[in-house]
Amino acid sequence: GCPASTRLARLRAEAAEASELVKANGISLGDVAKPGPWGRGLYTSRAVKMGEVILTEKPCIMAPRILAGMGRKPASDESAKTALDAFKALTPLQRHLLGFFHGWDEELSETFAQYAREHPEAEPALRFVRVMTLNAHEYRAEPSKAALYPLVSRANHSCDPSCALDGHPNGELYFYALRDMEAGEELLYSYLGGHFTLHIKEHRQSQLKAVKLFDCRCARCEASDPALQLPCTAEGCAGFAVQSGGEGSAWVCQLCSTEEPDDSPAKVILHRMEPLLVQKVAALEGLWANPEKDPAKYITDWEALAKSCLKTLGPRHPVYGRALFFVVMALNTGFALEGQALCGVDATRHTNGVRQFGIALLDYLDVSVPLGARRVLLEPIAQAVILLGTKSQDHCEVIAELVKRAGKDELIRLPWLDDKNVGLLRRVVEKHAPKDK
C-alpha cells in the first residue's frame, strides 16, 4: 500500500467512526462562514412536533471531568500536565474533531496565553481545556469524566428554550422539542439546566458569564424581567401590587388600586428578609449533589424554606418558585428511594407535600415563566404523578389536579424520562385526565 491509499483508508475508517456518533432527523447546520451573533447554531429542516426527539448523539471525546473547570482558572504546571496527558491520549480522529468545537480557534485567555508563550508544547492541550470548558457535558456512563458532543455543541443557549437536552445512562445525549416548530427554526436549549430558567435575568447572566464565559443575549435576556408582584396588603384583597415608578416607588395593587409606600413597615421587613432567603435557597441548591448531606434534614429544610418564602415574599416571587421546584424534587427523591426510613418520606408525607408544593409550583409557572421554560420545568411534576400513581393508593384527586393544571399533552408528549417511566406516566395520566365532554 502506497501512502496515499493508506491515508485514504484511514480517512474512510474515521468517517465511518464519526457517522456512528449521531442519529439526526430533521436538523440542518447553521452557516459556518456567516455565523449568527451567538454562534453557528442548529436548525430544523422540517416541521417538528412537541416532544419529538430530533437528535441523539454519542460523545466523540471523554476526558477527566476536572478539565471542564480548568478554563476558568489560571494555568499552572500541574493543570497543564493534566491537560497534556489527556490531550496525548486522544486518537488522531479525536484531535481532528477538536477543531469542530467553539473555542479551539479563539484566542486563549491571557493567563493561558502567557503560559503557552512560556511552554509552547502545552498550547494544544490548553486549547483542549478551553474547548472542554465551553462545550463539555456530564458523562453519565462514567461520572468522573466529561464528554464532548460535536452536534450538541453547535446548539445555542436560550433562557426560554425551544428544546430540552437530556441524557441516557449509556452517555448518549438527545434533544427533544418543547413545542411545535416550523422548518428553519433554531434549536435553543438552556446550557445550565431546566431549573436555571427560574432565576431572574441578573442571576442567569452572571452564572452564564462565570460558567460558560459569555454574555447572554437571548430574546428573554434582551427583554426586561416581568415586574415583581407582591401580595396586596389591603384587608380582604387577593390582588398583587407592582411598583408604579421603578425602584423605591410606591406599590400599587393591580386589583384594588391600593398604594403602599416602599418604606412602609411591611416592605422594610420584606427588603431585609429577601436577601437572606435568596442566600438560603442558593445554599440548599448548592447541596443538591453533595453525597455527604443528611437527606432527611435536607428535605425538611426545603419544606421549611418554601413555607418561609411564601409567607415573606408571596406566591409570585422568583425565589419562592425556585424553592417550590426543589422541594418537589426532594420529596420525590425521598419517597422513591428504597429504605424510606432514611429520608422519612412516606406515602402520606409525599402526597401532602405534592398537594401543597406541586400545585403551587404549577400556579407559579403559569403566571411567571415563559412557555419553553415552563415545559422544561415540569419534570418534577411528571415524577410526582408517576409516584402517586404507582406507589401510593387513593390519591386520585391529587393526580387529577396535577394533570389538569400541567396539561395532559405537556406531561405525556415530553420524553424526559426513560422508556419504562414514559409508559407508566402515560398510563397514569390517561387514567386521571379530565374526560372530554
Question: In sequence order, what DSSP letters do the residues of 239-262 get, joined into one string?
Answer: -EEEESSSTTSPEEETTT--EE-T
Of 340, 333, 325, give the one whose Cα is nearest residue 374.
325
Residues 6+ apart with CB under 8 A from 121: 84
Measure the CA–CA gap between 376 and 189, rounded to whole angstroms: 10
CA distance 326 to 198: 11
Q: Report d(CA 420, CA 398) in Å as an integer.
A: 23
Phi-psi label, residue 317: left if phi above 0, alpha if psi -120 to 50, beta otherwise = beta
Taking only the tens of pLDDT, the chain with its 437 residues reads 565 555 555 545 544 555 556 677 888 887 654 444 456 789 999 999 998 999 999 999 999 999 888 877 777 888 888 889 999 999 988 998 898 887 776 777 777 788 888 888 888 888 899 899 889 999 999 989 999 998 899 899 999 999 999 888 899 999 999 999 999 999 999 998 888 999 999 999 999 988 888 899 999 999 988 889 999 999 999 999 999 888 889 999 999 999 999 999 999 999 999 999 999 999 999 999 898 999 999 999 999 999 999 999 999 999 999 999 999 999 999 998 855 556 788 888 999 999 999 999 999 999 999 989 999 899 999 999 999 988 766 678 899 999 999 998 888 887 766 777 888 888 889 888 877 65
Residues with Cβ within 8 Å of 227's Cβ and at least 6 positions away in sequence, in order, are 242, 243
DSSP string of 216-242?
Answer: ---HHHHSPPPPP-EE--STT---EEE
Contact 301, 330 (CB under 8 A): no
- CA neighbor of 189 nearest in space, from 339, 42, 2: 42
pTM for this structure?
0.86
Rounded Cα–Cα distance for residues 374 and 368 (Å): 9
346's grid cell: 412516606
Mean pLDDT of the chain: 87
